């Protein structure tokens, strides 16, 4: 199997791992805050909103970087169906990273509840309506569960590439550089790279 020789840029890798930590934390904070009525659940709620808005901002930056810099090509030997699954799962991640915070924000707007981040009140992005609030609440919860499931599948796929196929795909996103023996010609995507999977 010929290893992939290009990597995501340092900025893309930094955003990936920073956001992975934030998103995993958010999912557990979200579940934690709705599973208890103890007073400390309020501190979880006050962490959930700013962290969610931060994820939204980072996701938009990441999308722009992704569109400008592209991604290393998947190995030629990889079956088409696996390539398609990888593309679709990454697309779903981008949709979720942007839609979930927007749903949280609009859900609170529909409940006429202010979203205050670092002392600044964000404008409402949905009209006040109890019916709409219920709809958005259900959507936020359902998509958060989808996010959990997608992360589990993504983790399994990453380990499958890294430990079983050993095709270099894991190294394209690894925070560390590959050893010379496994990736002797590994390099970041060049700044003006037109290499892209799409």
Q: Which two tokens stand for residue 23?
A: 């998103």
Burial class (CB in 10 A: 0-12, 13-18, 19+), 127: exposed
Burial class (CB in 10 A: 0-12, 13-18, 19+), 171: buried
Q: Which of 18, 27, 47, 146 binds ligand HEM (CB under 6 A)?
A: 27
Residues contacting ligand HEM: total by CB under 6 A: 38
- Binding segment for ligand HEM (CB under 6 A), chosen from 51-59, 128-136, 175-183, 185-193, is 51-59
**Is the CB of 3 or the CB of 30 nearer to ligand HEM?**
30
* Closest approach of ligand HEM to the CB of residue 14, in Å: 12
Based on the shown chain and the rule CB under 6 A, indicate whether residue 23 belongs to the binding site for ligand HEM: yes
3-state DSSP of 54-79: HHHHHHHHHHHHHHHHCCCCCCCCCC
Q: Rounded to an integer, what distance in angstroms lies between the CA atom of residue 168 and that of residue 139?
A: 37
* Closest approach of ligand HEM to the CB of residue 169, in Å: 5
Residues 83-122 that bind ligand HEM (CB under 6 A): 86, 90, 93-94, 100-101, 104-105, 108, 115
Residues 179-198 that bind ligand HEM (CB under 6 A): none
CA distances to 38, 66, 150, 197 from 8, in Å: 43, 9, 21, 12
Q: Rounded to an integer, what distance in angstroms lies between the CA atom of residue 91 and that of residue 15?
A: 16
Q: Which of 140, 167, 168, 183 binds ligand HEM (CB under 6 A)?
A: 140
Based on the shown chain and the rule CB under 6 A, indicate whether residue 52 belongs to the binding site for ligand HEM: yes
* Closest approach of ligand HEM to the CB of residue 16, in Å: 5
Q: Rounded to an integer, what distance in angstroms lies between the CA atom of residue 37 and that of residue 175?
A: 38
**Sites of contact with ligand HEM (CB under 6 A):** 16, 20, 23-24, 26-27, 30-31, 34, 48-49, 52-53, 55, 66, 71, 86, 90, 93-94, 100-101, 104-105, 108, 115, 140-141, 144, 147, 151, 154-155, 158, 169-170, 172-173
């Amino acid at each position: 199997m010929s290893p992939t020789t290009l990597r995501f840029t340092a900025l893309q890798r930094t955003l990936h791992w920073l956001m992975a930590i934030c998103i995993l934390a958010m999912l557990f904070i979200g579940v934690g805050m709705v599973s208890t009525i103890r007073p400390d659940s309020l501190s979880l709620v006050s962490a959930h909103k700013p962290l969610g808005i931060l994820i939204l901002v980072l996701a938009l930056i990441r999308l722009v970087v992704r569109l400008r810099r592209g991604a290393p090509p998947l190995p030629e030997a990889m079956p088409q169906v696996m390539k398609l699954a990888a593309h679709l799962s990454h697309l779903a991640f981008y949709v979720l990273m942007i839609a979930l915070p927007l749903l949280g924000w609009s859900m609170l707007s529909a409940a006429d509840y202010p979203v205050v981040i670092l002392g600044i009140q964000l404008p409402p992005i949905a009209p006040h309506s109890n019916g709409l609030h219920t709809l958005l609440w259900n959507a936020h919860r359902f998509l958060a569960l989808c996010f959990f499931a997608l992360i589990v599948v993504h983790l399994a796929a990453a380990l499958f590439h890294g430990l079983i196929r050993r095709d270099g795909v894991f190294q394209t996103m690894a925070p560390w550089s590959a050893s010379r023996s496994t990736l002797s010609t590994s390099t970041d995507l060049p700044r003006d790279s037109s290499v892209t999977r799409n």
